[in-house]
A and B are shown apart, each in its own frame.
Chain A
């Protein structure tokens, strides 16, 4: 009994404690949290609020991807399928049977995890490029299926009826409500990642990423470690999808399961810094405002694509110079500072 209580205390401490991080990071993160929390009070335009919500959603997607892609080192280019599973589970259960949101979320998770488990063992026989393309293919197959199936709405998609807000059964709110909703989800995933990065599994996963044979020599079951991680990533993607469904009130396979979404999720985390807990947040903070402001602005004037041109240039430069992403650049500069200071 005492042992279990000690374990629970330890888990809670790991989840909520940031003491092992340098003070500069802690302060920056606190400032970030304060900014995000008070954002809807400071800024009132609907568009800006939408940008912030989209940023938090992508940061969340990135955190989930970061597990398999960053800590695990397996580039997964099919995360959109998991988002789609979550989104469709939620949207179908609400529109068919009126099931409350919080019950649809575990269902979405179960679907995503079950599918991921079914394909995980064959897929993890592959490495590197082959693995990446295989994940791409699986996601595309699912998108094609969902477009083809009538019972899931086909290409028409599924709509949710608009209800009076605030509605806590179906999670419909005004912009402020959605903001705090996604913020809460984001924090939940972030705290999970805070626990994860200190856990035994994180060490094992990184060991597998860096050197599989060495990891095996230390008692780590390499394939099972990868599979476990892949399942968690799938679950996290599904949660994001469930949010997407009740936020947009419309789900269709072309949007929610599209290849571009998978690529964006992966790229954002990699540019920000895969393998660190800040990376996905930094990556999303770069892409989303770029896309929603520059892209929308110029798109409205008939100039499409400039946001992605800039983003693509950033990706190429980072790939060529610092594959560990922006956070990698920051860390490298910091260590050099330490070495100089002796």
Chain B
């Protein structure tokens, strides 16, 4: 298994955010993680990527035990991520932002710049290379974050609500970009999302979480019909797919 999460528990001073979550991914899959607010999706991401240390449980990546590894180590090992709230390096240009990622794999500035430009081309951002991220709209900034994460040449990319705040056209564009990088870079994608049209469309398999636990797993069609899933979302019926 490419990524395996075994019995992950994460507690914050009495509040249990993840209560024994287990699942696995194979290389090359596109997996969607959904669940109502507070289900523990971002906590799970943070535990896998190394921003939090799990209270107990294990995470295996490419058959290596990476439980509790700090964020910079999991990144070097091949797990890239984007953030729910965009985290831009505001005093660096778009190109420089992506170069920071490229520097993870290469030490020479010209090489890093070339890699960055290639990736910017891939996500259709080449013309914006010398702009500053804060001058650009949110949808564009999300693409910059994606480009930056790609620059570290990850094998697994975890995307935290990348479609949130995008209008339908932008959502289609990002699905297109993701499908392309999935194919061209042979990436495994793990996404979490609230925007249902987006995640149901792009994922091969869905995992559903609620109140810190995994409550369902399967193809998008199967999962949408499961009773537990509908019950978990019942109160969120009106918040579905902003």
CA distance A221 to B72 in the complex (A): 6
Bound together, the chains give a CA A198 to CA B110 distance in angstroms of 10
- B76 proximity list for chain A (CB < 8 A): 219
Q: Is the CB of A219 within 8 A of B75?
A: yes
A206-B108 in contact (CB<8A)? no
B117 to chain A, nearest CB (A): 15
Pick the contact of A215 from B91, B100, B108, B151 — CB < 8 Å?
B100
B112 smallest CB distance to A (angstroms): 7
Q: How big is chain A's contact interface, by range?
A: 20 to 34
> Does B92 lie within 8 Å of A200, measured CB to CB?
no
Closest to B148 in A: A218
Residues B108 and A207 in contact, CB atoms below 8 Å apart = no
Report whether A217 and B49 are in contact in the complex, using a CB–CB cutoff of 8 Å.
yes
**Residues 85-117 of A contacting B (Cβ, < 8 Å):** none
Give A198 to B149 CA distance when docked, in angstroms: 21
**Interface check A203, CB cutoff 8 A:** yes
B85, closest chain A residue (CB): A213
Within 8 A of A (CB), among B21-43: none
- Whole-angstrom CA separation of A209 from B152 in the bound complex: 19
Q: Name the interface residues of A215-246: CB closer than 8 Å to any CB of B.
A: 215-222
Q: Is B233 an interface residue, CB under 8 A from the partner?
A: no
B72 and A210 form a contact (CB under 8 A):
no
- A211 sits at the interface (CB 8 A): yes
Does B100 contact A218, Cβ atoms closer than 8 Å?
A: yes
Q: Is B226 positioned at the interface, with any CB of A under 8 Å from its CB?
A: no
Once bound together, how far apart are the Cα atoms of A219 and B89, in whole Å? 15
| B-side contacts of A207, CB under 8 Å | 89, 92, 100
Chain B's nearest CB lies how many Å from the CB of A145?
Answer: 35
B71 with A217: CB separation less than 8 A:
yes
Instruction: Please tell me which one of the listed residues B87, B103, B104 contacts residue A213 in the complex, with CB atoms under 8 A apart.
Output: B87
The answer to whether A206 touches B103 (Cβ under 8 A) is no
Binding site secondary structure of chain A: helix
Bound form: Cα–Cα A200–B148 in Å: 15
The answer to whether B90 touches A218 (Cβ under 8 A) is no
> B88: CB under 8 A from chain A?
yes
Please state if A211 and B89 are interface contacts (CB–CB under 8 Å): yes
Q: A200-B107, A220-B72 are in contact. Are A210 and B90 (CB under 8 A)?
A: yes
Contact of A217 among B75, B88, B103, B108 (CB under 8 A): B75
Cβ 8 A contact of B109, one of A198, A219, A275:
A198
B72 and A222 form a contact (CB under 8 A)? yes
The answer to whether B72 touches A275 (Cβ under 8 A) is no
Q: A209 to chain B: which residues have CB within 8 Å?
A: 91
A213 to B160, CA, bound (A): 14
**Which B residues touch A210, using CB under 8 A?**
88-92
CA distance A35 to B74 in the complex (A): 52
Nearest CB to that of A335 among chain B residues? B132
B residues less than 8 Å from A213 (CB atoms)? 51, 71, 83, 87
Q: Within 8 Å CB of B99, what residues of A?
A: 203
- With a cutoff of 8 Å between Cβ atoms, the chain B residues found around residue A203 in the complex are 92, 96, 99-100, 103, 112
C-alpha gap A222/B72 in the complex (Å):
8
Nearest B residue to A73 by beta-carbon distance? B91
Q: Across the interface, which residues of B come within 8 angstroms of A222, CB to CB?
A: 72
Which residues on the A side are within 8 Å of B145 (C-beta)? 214
Say yes or no: is B81 at the interface (Cβ < 8 Å to chain A): yes
Known contacts A10-B108, A217-B49, A217-B149; A200/B103 CB under 8 A: yes
Asked if A217 and B91 make an inter-chain contact with CB atoms under 8 angstroms apart, the answer reads no
Q: Would you call B103 and A204 a contact (CB within 8 A)?
A: yes
Q: Which of A174-227 contact B (CB under 8 A)?
A: 198-200, 203-204, 206-207, 209-211, 213-222
With a CB–CB cut-off of 8 A, which chain B residues contact A10?
Answer: 108
B81: A residues at CB distance < 8 A: 217
Task: Choose one: A14, A206, A214, A219; the contact of B104 (CB below 8 Å).
Answer: A219
In the complex, the chain A residue whose C-beta lies closest to that of B50 is A216
Chain B residues with CB under 8 A of A275? 91
Q: A218 to B88, Cβ gap below 8 A?
A: no
A198-B109, A206-B91, A214-B88 as given contacts; A219 in contact with B152, CB under 8 Å: yes
B80 at the interface (CB under 8 A from A): yes
Determine if B70 is an interface residue (Cβ-Cβ < 8 Å).
yes
In the assembled complex, B101 has its CB within 8 A of some CB on chain A: yes
Q: Which residue of A lies closest to B91 (CB)?
A: A210
The docked-state distance in angstroms from the alpha carbon of A275 to that of B91 is 10
1/0 contact string of B90-132 vs chain A (CB within 8 Å): 1110001001110110011100100000000000000000000
A203 to B95: give the CA distance in the assembly, Å: 11
When distances are taken between beta carbons in the complex, the residues of chain B under 8 Å from A199 are 109
With A207-B89, A275-B91 as known contacts, state yes or no: A218 contacts B101, CB within 8 Å.
yes
Choose one: B50, B51, B104, B107; the contact of A218 (CB below 8 Å).
B104
Q: Mask for B51-84, Cβ within 8 A of A = 1, else 0?
A: 1000000000000000000111001100011010
B112 pairs with A200, CB closer than 8 A:
yes
Residues of A within 8 A of B (CB): 10, 14, 198-200, 203-204, 206-207, 209-211, 213-222, 275
Q: Which 6 residue pairs across A and B have the least CB separation, nearest first?
A: A210-B89, A216-B71, A219-B104, A214-B87, A219-B75, A219-B76
